[in-house]
Amino acid sequence: MTRFSANLGFLWAELPLPDAIRAAKAAGFDAVECHWPYDQDRAAVRSALNETRLPMLGLNTRRGDVAAGENGLSALPGREADARAAIDEAIDWAVALGVPNIHVMAGFASGEKAHDAFVANLAYACSQAAPKGLTILIEPLNGYDAPGYFLSTTTQAEALIAQVGAENLKLMFDCYHVQLSEGDLTNRLKRLLPIIGHIQFAGVPARGRPDVGEVHYPFVFEQIAALGHTAPLGAEYKPGGSTEATLGWMGKT
Helix or strand (DSSP H, E) at 7: strand 4-7
Q: Which residues participate in catalysis according to the annotation?
A: 139, 236
Contact 61, 31 (CB under 8 A): no
Mean pLDDT of 176-183: 98
pTM of the full structure: 0.97
Contact 150, 75 (CB under 8 A): yes
For residue 252, the model assigns a pLDDT of: 65
Asked whether the predicted pLDDT for residue 134 surpasses 70, the reply is: yes
Asked whether the predicted pLDDT for residue 248 surpasses 80, the reply is: yes
CB atoms within 10 A of CB 249: 18
Segments making up each domain of the chain, as ranges: 4-252
Cβ neighbors of 194 (< 8 A, separation 6 or more) are none
Query: How does residue 1 score in pLDDT terms, banded at 50, 70 and 90?
Result: confident
Written out in words, the top-level CATH class of the domain with range 4-252 is alpha beta
Residue 196: exposure state from Cβ atoms within 10 A (0-12, 13-18, ≥19)? buried
Q: Nearest-CA neighbor of 98 among 140, 37, 39?
A: 37
Strand partners, 108: 149
DSSP secondary structure code for residue 106 in this structure: B
